[in-house]
C-alpha cells in the first residue's frame, strides 16, 4: 500500500511518546477498513524505525518522482526521501525511539481543511514560501494553525539548542533557527504576509520533563539540529555538548525539567 500524503509538520522531542499496545489493539478492532489500513502502515513504520530499518520505514511512502518530503529543505521524489533519512540518521543511536499513540485517521480530499505547522517554520530556509504553500493547499475558510517558541517568558530549550547550533558550519545556518520566530507578533505578521487571517493567538506553558539524564540526552540528540551537527563533528562531540548544556536543568530528584513558553496562532485562509 502506498499513501499519497502531503504533510507540513515537524518532530521535536516527541520520539519518546510511547504507544499503549492494548489501546491500539482496541482501536484497530473498531475503525473502518480504510482507516485501519493507514494505522497498519504507521504501526509497521514504528516497528521498522525502532529496529533501525530505514528502508522498511520509507516503504510506506509513494515510490514516485512527485513525492514531496520537507525537512530543512524540500526533497522531491522517493529516492531523495530515502536518502535524506539515511543522511540525517546515520546511526541507530541517532534515531531515538519512535512511538505513535492516540491515532486518529481522517480522509482528506485534494485540498486540506486544516494545516498545522508546529515548531516547524523556523527551520525552513524560507518560512514565508512554506506558509504560502500551506495557504495554497487549504480550502477557502479552512484553518492553518501555527506554533513556535515564544520569548515572552522562560524558554529553557534555547540553551541546549544554541549549544548545538554553535557546532554547525555557518553556511548551514540558513533558516531563522529555534527562536527565529519567537518575537511578539512574528507569527501573526508572517501569516498575514502569506495571505492568512489570524483569528486567535496566545502564549502557553510548554514544559518538558525527563525521568533521567539519558532520556533527556536521547531526546535532544534525536532533534534535527543535533542530527545535522553529528554529520560535521561526530556523535561524541554533540553528545558531550548537549550533556553539558542539560546539566543545569537537573533537579535534586535526578529528573530534568526545562521550562518553556510557546505561542500558537490560529488563522483562516
Distance CA 180, CA 106 (A): 32
pLDDT of the residue at 210? 94
User: What is the C-alpha to C-alpha distance for residues 131 and 192, in angstroms, rounded to an integer?
Assistant: 10
Instruction: Region of 136 please: left (phi>0), alpha (psi -120 to 50) or beta.
Output: alpha
- Answer for the pair 250, 125: CB distance below 8 angstroms, yes or no: no
Q: Which of 9-23, 62-76, 172-186, 211-225 has the lowest mean pLDDT?
A: 9-23
Please tell me the number of Cα atoms within 13 Å of 234 on its side-chain side: 3
Identify the band that residue 72 occupies on the pLDDT scale cut at 50, 70 and 90.
low
Query: Does the pLDDT value for residue 241 go beyond 90?
Result: yes
Closest by CA to 167, choosing from 227, 238, 248, is 238
- Cell 526521501 belongs to which residue? 81
Mean pLDDT of 182-208: 91
pLDDT at 13 over 50: no
Interval 86-141: pLDDT, tens = 887 888 887 878 888 777 777 766 666 667 766 677 777 788 988 998 888 888 88
Looking at residue 11, its pLDDT comes to: 32
The residue assigned the cell 481543511 is 113
Amino acid at each position: 500500500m502506498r499513501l499519497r500524503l502531503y504533510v507540513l509538520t515537524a518532530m521535536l522531542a516527541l520520539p519518546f511518546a510511547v504507544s499503549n499496545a492494548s489501546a491500539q489493539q482496541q482501536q484497530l478492532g473498531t475503525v473502518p477498513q480504510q482507516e485501519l489500513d493507514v494505522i497498519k502502515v504507521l504501526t509497521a513504520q514504528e516497528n521498522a524505525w525502532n529496529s533501525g530499518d530505514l528502508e522498511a520505514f520509507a516503504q510506506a511512502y509513494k515510490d514516485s518522482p512527485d513525492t514531496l518530503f520537507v525537512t530543512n529543505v524540500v526533497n522531491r521524489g522517493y529516492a531523495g526521501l530515502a536518502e535524506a533519512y539515511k543522511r540525517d540518521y546515520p546511526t541507530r543511536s541517532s534515531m531515538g525511539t519512535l512511538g505513535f499513540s492516540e491515532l486518529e485517521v481522517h480522509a482528506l480530499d485534494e485540498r486540506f481543511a486544516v494545516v498545522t505547522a508546529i515548531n516547524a517554520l523556523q527551520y525552513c530556509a524560507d518560512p514565508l514560501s512554506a506558509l504560502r504553500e500551506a495557504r495554497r493547499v487549504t480550502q477557502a475558510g479552512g484553518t492553518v494553525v501555527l506554533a513556535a517558541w515564544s520569548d515572552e517568558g522562560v524558554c529553557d530549550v534555547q540553551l541546549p539548542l544554541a549549544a548545538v547550533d554553535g557546532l554547525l558550519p555557518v553556511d548551514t545556518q540558513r533558516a531563522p533557527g529555534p527562536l527565529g520566530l519567537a518575537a511578539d507578533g512574528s507569527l501573526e505578521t508572517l501569516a498575514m504576509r502569506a495571505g492568512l487571517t489570524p483569528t486567535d493567538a496566545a502564549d502557553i506553558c510548554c514544559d518538558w520533563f525527563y525521568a533521567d539524564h539519558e532520556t533527556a540526552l536521547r531526546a535532544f540528540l534525536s532533534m534535527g539540529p543535533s542530527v545535522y551537527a553529528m554529520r560535521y563533528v561526530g556523535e561524541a562531540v554533540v553528545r558531550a555538548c548537549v550533556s553539558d548544556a542539560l546539566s543545569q536543568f537537573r533537579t535534586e530528584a535526578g529528573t530534568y525539567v526545562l521550562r518553556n513558553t510557546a505561542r500558537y496562532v490560529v488563522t483562516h485562509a
